[in-house]
Structure 1
Amino acid sequence: MTASTTAYPVGTPGVAWGAAERAQWLARQRRQRSYADDVLSVVERLRPRFEVIQYGQLDYGDQQFPLYAFKSQPWQPDLPVALVTGGVHGYETSGVHGALQFLEQRAQDYAGRVNLLVAPCISPWAYERIHRWNPDAIDPNRSFHADSPAGESAALLDLVAPYAGQVLLHIDLHETTDSDESEFRPALAARDGKPYEPGEIPDGFYLVGDSGNPQPAFQQAVIAAVEKVTHIAPADARGEIIGSAVVGHGVINYPVKQLGLCAGVTDARFTTTTEVYPDSPRATPQQCNDAQVAAVCAALDFALS
């Protein structure tokens, strides 16, 4: 998909938002689905199989969102930790439901081999509104750093802190959608008072590795597994995916810690960010969830081999 060049309806072009523009933007957001129905109901169903911990609560207006994570039961201190995160961007649906499907269908396959720590829906307010930001117009996935302005990011950092040095693997589950170009990148440009430069949405799954620790064999093992479930995004005419050079089949790299991305919250040896494309005519919602599960399993299999 190639984006439209229509001006964003909030703010003045070239002028960064102030409090009034943020309030105008917030007033446009509408609740479209239920965190309680879609996520918390599954949390309750899975309680007998895992240790479920509430690692925080987000209070936004008259809504309260408890944040839950799952831990292997029993937790074995002599085993490495694998961190799985989803829903950092609440609108990226298969990140949430892929993490929950992994817990329901495949997590027990790794019992006694690794301690799993799974946070399936980091941004529940945004999940309900099918949005990228939190209500303060902050992107949690640029906010994983000390003194984070995003409650979603700060809560996850606190959850992970006790396991510093034990995390072998972190896989962060995301999507790239057509709305990245129709809504979210134009909103970002408007918020920051910058010109919007249209981009191109790749058709297919890809991975974002860490340019500081790229682990190409690991990334390709995940790609190979996912390719059995859904198609892999090709490079564009410039040899890029979303503006970054393709460094291997379906793989680009970002400096994850420098950018404050979720994939940089640990010093894990193996890290990757999945990017499913749910708007492809060649993919169904279930296929997107299955691709996320395949990626998690392939990442675990490689890291534990």
Structure 2
Amino acid sequence: MSTQITSEQRYAIGTPGQPWGAQEKADWLAAQEVKRSYQDEVVSEIERLAGRFDVHQYGELDYQAQGASCYPLYALTTVDFDLDKPTILVTGGVHGYETSGVHGALRFLELHAEDYSADFNIIVAPCISPWGYETINRWNVFAVDPNRSFIADSPAPEAAQVMEFIQSLDVDLLAHIDLHETTDTDNSEFRPALAARDGKLNTNWNIPDGFYLVGNSAQLQPEFQAAIIRSVEQVTHIAEPDEEGRLIGTPMVQPGVVEYEAKPLGLCMGLSQAQFVTTTEVYPDSANATPEQCVNAQVAAVTGALDFLR
């Protein structure tokens, strides 16, 4: 196993046992800093791919009133969309700090998407939360988690705008692969912040060392999940369960796979009625994996899924 932080931690903002109000959220936002550039690292790559894919600016996040920037939101689709072909959705950067999800989506476009375009329409939204990408954050500027916000009347514009875009395409998705990471900062920062925001007691989980998947318990599709695991294990190691047979505190239902209730939790993988859905989880802080392997693991997850479906 990797990090074993299990102690209860006091977060710097707020009063224990009391949910945050407007002042605490403002204090949290004031503490955030831009650490990297969405324009230089993501938008520039999208522009480079524009000659090969249709690029859609499906919205923007105007966070200037919150002291941040105005971020254009992009999705790319394979050319010659054909409604007689099944449609696949790949999403990255729902949690902006999860770097390999963003760059895995872009690398899949660069290296592989065209190879599958004869069989599938492909939609890729590589960075759903650009402010989170720049500040290396799980939440948006309102201290809202986009990956709990894929619901009607969403409180997160990141979730609302991509859902509206997918609906505007008027396609039935066959599959949706949502690219994520589980990092040491989940325990050192994000879970303590969540507990503080909600006025609850925080107890961290053990973070798995390696790649794993989160399937939708309403439609797990175990053979689909297994095919992705087989593809990824050619690139990096698969997480082993802890001594209780769990990953991130959840029972492992098959090697490298746990399951969540996607729609009740408002998860991105629950945004549609797709038959085949999964959320990837890479561990970038592993001593046994490099950042390059993490990106390649995300790519292998997508190609493994498409090879199974094809």
The TM tier, using the shorter chain, reads: over 0.9
Matched, 1:14 2:17: yes
Q: CA deviation at 1:164?
A: 5.4
Q: Distance in 1 between matches of 2:184 and 2:274?
A: 31
Question: What is the match of residue 44 of structure 2?
Answer: 41
Give the counterpart letter for 1:72 in structure 2: T
Closer, same or farther: CA 210–164 of 1 in aligned 2, 3 Å: farther
Q: CA deviation at 1:6?
A: 3.4
Which residue is 1:223 aligned to? 229
| 8 Å contact from structure 1 (residues 165, 267) kept in 2 | no
Cα distance in 2 for partners of 1:92, 1:6 equals 22
SS at match of 1:48: coil
Aligned pairs for 1:75-224 (under 5 A) are: 75-163=81-169, 166-224=172-230
1:5 CA drift (Å): 3.5
**Shift of residue 166, structure 1, vs aligned partner:** 1.6
**Distance (whole Å) between structure 2 residues aligned to residue 164 and residue 209 of structure 1:** 25
Corresponding residue for 1:65?
Answer: 71
Most deviating of 58-67 and 127-136: 58-67
Contact 2:87 2:171 in 1 (8 A): no
**Which position in structure 1 is the counterpart of 2:288?**
282
CA distance in 1 between partners of 2:305 and 2:159 (Å): 23
Q: Distance in 2 between matches of 1:197 and 1:43?
A: 39
Write the deviation string for residues 61-93 of structure 1: whole angstroms up to 9, x where unpaired.
251100000011011121111000000000000
In structure 1, what residue type is equivalent to 2:249? G
Post-superposition CA distance 1:81-136 (Å, at most 9, x none): 10000000000000000000000011111121100000000000000000000000
Could you tell me which runs of 5 or more consecutive residues in structure 1 were left unpaired when the two chains were aligned: none
Aligned residues: 304
CA drift at 1:23: 0.3
Determine the C-alpha separation between the residues in 2 that align with 1:93 and 1:49.
23
Q: Is the 8 A contact 2:9 2:203 kept in 1?
A: no
Confirm or deny that 1:29 pairs with 2:32.
yes
Could you tell me how far apart the structure 2 residues matched to 1:162 and 1:217 are? Answer: 31
2:8 touches 2:201 (CA, 8 Å); kept in 1? no
Identity %: 59
Larger deviation: 141-150 or 295-304?
295-304
User: Cα distance, 1:165 vs. partner?
Assistant: 5.5
Listed as ranges, the gaps of 5+ residues in structure 2 are none
Q: Structure 1, residues 211-238: CA drift from partner, whole Å, max 9, x if none?
A: 0000000000000110110000001111
Range with bigger deviation, 195-204 or 93-102: 195-204
Q: Which TM-score applies when normalising by structure 2?
A: 0.97
Alpha-carbon RMSD: 0.9
- The alignment's TM-score, normalised by the length of structure 1, stands at 0.98
